[in-house]
Structure 1
Amino acid sequence: MSLTEKPQSSPEREAYYEKIARQDYSALWNVLSGIITPTPKSECVPHLWEFAPARELLMEAGELITAKEAERRVLILENPGMRGQSRITTSLYAGLQLVLPGEVAPAHRHSQSALRFVMDGGGACTAVNGERTIMQEGDFVITPPWAWHDHGNESDRPMIWMDGLDIPMLSFFDASFAEGLGEDMQAITTPTGDALARYGANMLPVDFEKQGLASPLFNYPYARTREALETMRRRDEWDPCHGLKMRYVNPVDGGWAMPTIAPFVQLLPKGFKTAGYRSTDATVFSVIEGTGRTTIGDTTFHWKPKDIFVMPSWHKVVHEADEDAVLFSYSDRVAQQKLGIWREQRDAD
């Protein structure tokens, strides 16, 4: 008997297993090697979604159903190893949302945390708890749990962004709640830019009291992010496994920007090849700038701007940049760290 092998079978044992099954029992020794594994075991597999064909499919959907009728006109990025489960990793969801000029995705709220990463277009808006923000390509936008939110597009271009949510995580805990506002758009009670001014300048109101676990700064503009990366690259402090990798933080306490989802951005300079790396947090990547390739286990993906790919848990990953490249990514690392189960291996073979 070991953690990797099942005990041998016999007629007497099989009869016993049938007997206990009728009373809603099962034998741990028959399943132990499958539920407590020496290394992570998952149905999640590496995969890449090219943006160009995804955009064509979204635009076709735009001719079939309105944003209001659909509630959210989204194509789910289903991991090929978990089809029909609305998952891109074991614990996370990803989708591509389209809002056409003049459309509104109606106001609702839910217990799931959500991020928006703007892929294509600019000038559309999202409103969160009474404040509207204008979104541009590369912006990272947060919808905290149970926050009213709606999306509108007053620009003259279609707007596409990636949605990242912790839907599978909340489903596992049976903790999903949702409701609609009954109106297309919520009332705007706060001037645009208020959150950025109030929380995004290394200051807080003197009488600030923390509410919830998500960052009160809900739009992280890409222009600021890119400037920070360029400033950091002058120090030439390249991490061998990540290039220059930063995490989005909550300005209130310096912790993660979201309670269950960990968002990152990283810069890989031209010609840079990372050392092998693996970690327990399966990760979704979106290419902002540049071209290159990523090898995940035995699979190599060639990527370009706006492509999306996924790295399963505990798979060795190596990135190579053909030109300066910037990658946005998100994982469940923050949740794993809070539970004390996150693990990494640098210079992985």
Structure 2
Amino acid sequence: MDTTVPAARAALYEDIRRLNLIPLWESLHSLVPAHPAPAYEAALWRYDEIAPYLRRAGEVISAEEAVRRVLVLENPALPGSASITNSLYAGLQLILPGEVAPAHRHTQSALRFIVHGKGAYTAVDGERTTMYPGDFILTPSWTWHDHGNPGIDGAAEPVVWLDGLDIPLTRFFNGGFAENGQAASQRVARPEGRSLAAYGHNMAPVRQLHTGTSSPIFNYPYERSRAALETLRRQEEIDPWVGVKLRYINPLTGGAPMPTIGACMQLLPAGFKGRAHRSTDGTVYSVVEGHGRVDIGGRSFAFGPRDTFVVPSWLTLAFDAPEDVVLFSFSDRPVLEAIGLLREEFLPE
């Protein structure tokens, strides 16, 4: 065997490294793979297992001290990253009766999906909205926002929601900025429900039109989402891959509610056995109603209400729903669409 070639290559590699150079041919196949190979993995977090630790967190640190009392859902394959996918962050946030999570703003776009309790509020740029389970709420990039839990009609209970942010994506672009408010709660400048009234009924104001890049609606109530799914379940043929699935939109553009995060709600009717499909967007799911199973790339997970699971890019996904199941999901789909990298495949039976 001629050993001069390997030795010469090794010498070349050592010499060029001093100039901060590396040979492409040694890593070409991993840099330009035949198909997506995400560095993170499918995983599921059971709410019933997490809830006791959220309660303990509520005992040892206040919302004011923590700024945001959150247990981060960190992907098992990405330790130390505070990320659930390469581009998304997720965590479960607790706010107790009487607490206020102080006002701040940041360039990271955020969503809240309410998983337990009612009567807390989120305030976004001077407008408050009371939160109920299943509500999908936005805090767009660089908007002032705070949270409080005064309860309803004098009764208050702990409230938990799923946070979803584009923190890893913002970190990748080094575009992170943040600012704390001067007061714990921002001044309420508009009555509750104003944004939904102005933009949520297939109409928009003639003057003073919203000019931001995110949706002017910042609370999409679950009651309306669930009713839409139920109507379509009765009136239309069930899609064999996704059941009845609707995406949330910015009513002014028809696009995603925020530039970097898309969101959907879907209904899987009792007895649904879905065909496998896959997509290049990494997706986080929160179970709203029902029990079932999900197969992700050949791994099977049983889920129930309030559980969270993540589906990595290009892994096959198939649902089995012995009873009615409702799922909320969010992903980095708008980014992939914008740069031409979104690809989907719906596999035959």
TM-score, normalised by the number of residues in structure 2: 0.96
Q: Which residue of 2 aligns with 1:147?
A: 143
2:109 is aligned with 1:113: yes
Secondary structure, in 3 states, of the residue corresponding to 2:272?
coil
Q: Aligned Cα RMSD in Å?
A: 1.2
Provide Cα deviations, 1:39-58, integer angstroms capped at 9, x if missing partner: 11122111110001211111
Counterpart CA distance in 2 for 1:70 and 1:139 is 24
Secondary structure, in 3 states, of the residue corresponding to 2:103?
strand
1:282 CA drift (Å) = 1.0
Q: Which residue of 1 aligns with 2:42?
A: 46
Letter in 2 for 1:306: R
Give the conservation status (yes or no) of the 8 Å contact 1:108–1:179. Answer: yes
1:172 CA drift (Å) = 0.6
Q: Which residue of 1 aligns with 2:289?
A: 289
Q: Which residue of 2 aligns with 1:218?
A: 218
1:208 CA drift (Å) = 4.2
1:249 CA drift (Å) = 0.5
Counterpart CA distance in 2 for 1:38 and 1:266 is 31
1:332 CA drift (Å) = 0.5
Q: Which residue of 1 aligns with 2:53?
A: 57
Provide Cα deviations, 1:151-207, integer angstroms capped at 9, x if missing partner: 000122001000000000011111001010121000000001101111111110112
Q: Which residue of 2 aligns with 1:172?
A: 172
Secondary structure, in 3 states, of the residue corresponding to 2:249?
coil
Quickly say closer, same or farther: Cα 1:55–1:348, change in 2 above 3 A.
farther
1:330 CA drift (Å) = 0.5
Give the conservation status (yes or no) of the 8 Å contact 1:278–1:348. Answer: no
Provide Cα deviations, 1:224-272, integer angstroms capped at 9, x if missing partner: 1111111111223211110010000111121111110010000000001
Q: 1:125 aligns with which of 117, 121, 131?
A: 121
1:329 CA drift (Å) = 0.3
Q: Which residue of 1 aligns with 2:73?
A: 77
Secondary structure, in 3 states, of the residue corresponding to 2:171?
helix
Counterpart CA distance in 2 for 1:169 and 1:103 is 30
1:348 CA drift (Å) = 6.1
- For structure 2, the residue ranges without an aligned partner over 5 or more in a row are none
Q: Which residue of 1 aligns with 2:235?
A: 235
Q: Which residue of 2 aligns with 1:4?
A: none
Q: Which residue of 1 aligns with 2:248?
A: 248
Counterpart CA distance in 1 for 2:222 and 2:237 is 21
Counterpart CA distance in 1 for 2:50 and 2:138 is 23
Map 1:295-334; keep pairs closer than 5 Å: 295-334=295-334
Letter in 1 for 2:219: N
Q: Which residue of 2 aligns with 1:204?
A: 204
- For structure 1, the residue ranges without an aligned partner over 5 or more in a row are 1-7
2:36 is aligned with 1:20: no
Q: Which residue of 2 aligns with 1:266?
A: 266
Give the conservation status (yes or no) of the 8 Å contact 1:316–1:348. Answer: no
Counterpart CA distance in 1 for 2:293 and 2:74 is 21
Number of equivalences: 342
Secondary structure, in 3 states, of the residue corresponding to 2:207?
coil
Query: Segments of 4+ in structure 1 off by > 6 A?
Result: none
Counterpart CA distance in 2 for 1:253 and 1:33 is 39
Give the conservation status (yes or no) of the 8 Å contact 1:293–1:302. Answer: yes
Counterpart CA distance in 2 for 1:313 and 1:227 is 30
TM-score, normalised by the number of residues in structure 1: 0.96
Secondary structure, in 3 states, of the residue corresponding to 2:301?
strand
Counterpart CA distance in 2 for 1:221 and 1:81 is 34
Counterpart CA distance in 1 for 2:316 and 2:253 is 32
Letter in 2 for 1:205: P
Counterpart CA distance in 2 for 1:106 and 1:283 is 29
Structure 1 window deviating more from structure 2 (17-26 vs 228-237): it is 228-237
Letter in 2 for 1:147: T
Q: Which residue of 1 aligns with 2:184?
A: 184
2:96 is aligned with 1:100: yes
